[in-house]
Amino acid sequence: MIKTDIIIIGAGPCGLFTVFEAGLLKMKCHLIDYLPIPGGQCSEIYPKKPIYDIPAYPEILAEDLVNNLMEQIKPFNPGFTLGERAEYLDKSGDNFIVTTNKGTKHEAPVVVIAGGLGCFEPRKPPIQNIKDFEGKGVDYIIKDPELYKGKKIIISGGGDSALDWAIYFAKTANQVTLVHRRNSFRGHLDSVETINKLAQKGEINLITDAEVKKIEGKDKLQSIEIKTKQGEEINLNTDFWFPLFGLVPKLGPIKDWGLELEKNAIKVDTLDYSTNIKGIYAIGDVNTYPGKLKLILCGFHEAAIMCQFAFKKVFPGQKSSFKYTTVLGGIQGFEK
Amino acid sequence: MKEITINVIDETGKKHKIVSPLEMGLNLMDILRSHDLVEGACGGMALCATCHCYIESEHETSSQKDDELAMLDQLFTLDEEKSRLACQIPIVEALDNIIVKIAPPD
């Protein structure tokens, strides 16, 4: 069990800056993030993009902002659980226990959700019974390609992921069918050329201008029905179907924690950025309130205010004395 | 300040007439989001498609970059003729009286 004062879910800019503001009030933090590196979107999606609305920086690259924040919070020696998704929330007396998908447990009196856009989850085709076959022949993410060796596989999609896996499985699977709803692909030119060559050689069964419309099976997936734009129906027996239509941001397991939500965001009180669950706060892009602006600088502000109130739960009965860092004569961090 | 009018049909079919300023460097998603008509979750990076809309009038909108095309290509609610991500359309004078329909969630 990892014990700390504040569990921060999301290691993006707002989560990182929370460590600083909490540290000034002598509260220790531990961050959990599904991504394997800190920085959230700034590190994962647009590290080389310049940001222009950080006060005092006319222009700063997203990755530099993250690096600076990591440097700024170093004295406060935060803990990190990276590459794991915060999955479950439980109470233990006055404390919360947050458990990740890999079973790592964290305990603290305060939880701060700074999850940004949330977790990126696979976009699922609108087929009514698709849920019945998830993990039973329908897989959105291919974790262990060895599992599919010698099997019949159907892949849907026209992007890099669909093309790359179709090329890969052409060598190892018993049969590969690639279904795409248009007759051109958006993947890399090299991949598109390879797919066309494999199709010509008969190593991939290529069906374009078509979509999977029905899936069937008894205990697991057995067959799918494809419909072409011309109205032709094609039925294929298969062991697996991989619908690879990219990722869509979702709140993830947090949505089941009993928090009051509005349009995929967590409602907060702007007095202290508290949620409807006492001791759980939400800051940054993941929260919503009247007049909300999804800006990093607003998330920083929310972190600073929120920490003043979190202090009362971490140190009940003690009075926090707000001091300017210039008056403190520098930052007094924690010993390792 | 110069302004244009944007006609929006929301997901329920309700029509809205929105006046948008021209000289603030806004994009269509900014305007639609400020009226609570789209979520615009990713903030305009063509990453989430929560501002997916259909251009219902003949207005010529800005050209599409690869990021947008790749995102649109993955949507089940795609209309190859009309689909756009509102975040990729800068507000310009030529869009005056454009008709935009909000796409259903994907």
Domain count, chain A: 2
Contact A125 B76 (CB under 8 A): yes
Cβ pair A248:B49 closer than 8 A: yes
DSSP A185-246: --S-HHHHHHHHHHHHTTSSEEEESEEEEEEEESSSEEEEEEEETTS-EEEEE-SEEEE---
Q: Phi first, then psi: what are they for B91, rounded to 5°? A: -80, 115
Minimal CA separation from B100 to chain A, in Å = 21
Q: Is there a contact between B73 and A285 if contact means CB atoms under 8 Å apart?
A: no
Whether residues A139 and A95 fall in one domain: no
Task: Provide, as residue numbers in chain A, all residues whose Cβ is less than 8 Å from the Cβ of B50.
Answer: 249
Every domain of chain B and the residues it spans: 3-102
The minimum CA-CA distance between B5 and chain A, rounded to whole Å, is 23
| ipTM of the prediction greater than 0.85, yes or no | no
pTM (2 d.p.): 0.77
pLDDT at residue A328 in the model: 66
Task: Specify whether A67 is located in the same domain as A48.
Answer: yes
Domain boundary among A210, A245, A280: A245
Residue A335 is assigned to a structural domain of this protein:
no
Q: With respect to residue A145, please indicate whether it lies within any of the assigned structural domains.
A: yes
Does residue A196 share a domain with residue A145? yes
CA distances from A273 to A114, A287, A289, A320 (A): 11, 8, 9, 18
Picking from A223, A245, A267, the residue at the C-terminal end of a domain is A245
Subunit contact A248:B48, Cβ cutoff 8 A = yes
Ranges A33-47, A217-231, A238-252, B65-79: which has the least confidence: A33-47
A–B: how many Cβ contacts below 8 A?
45
pLDDT tens digits for A104-159?
999 999 999 999 988 777 889 999 999 999 999 999 988 889 999 999 999 999 88
- The CATH homologous superfamily for domain B3-102 is Beta-grasp domain (3.10.20.30)
A152: β partners: A175
Same domain? A182 vs A194? yes
Is residue A336, in this structure, part of any structural domain at all?
Answer: no
Q: Tens of pLDDT along A39-93?
A: 988 887 778 888 899 999 999 999 999 999 999 999 999 999 998 999 999 999 9
Q: Do A161 and A146 lie in a common domain? A: yes
Task: Label residue A317 by pLDDT band (50, 70, 90).
Answer: confident
A223 and A257 share a domain? Answer: no
Q: What is the CATH number of the domain that holds A15?
A: 3.50.50.60
Quick check: is A236 in a domain? yes
Return the SS3 of A141.
Answer: coil
Q: Is residue A333 part of a domain?
A: no
Tell me: do A114 and A139 sit in the same domain. Answer: no
Is A22 inside any structural domain?
Answer: yes
Per the prediction, chain A carries an average pLDDT of 92
Interface of B with A (CB under 8 A): 39, 41-43, 45, 47-50, 66, 69-71, 73-76, 80, 106
Domain that holds residue A203: 124-245
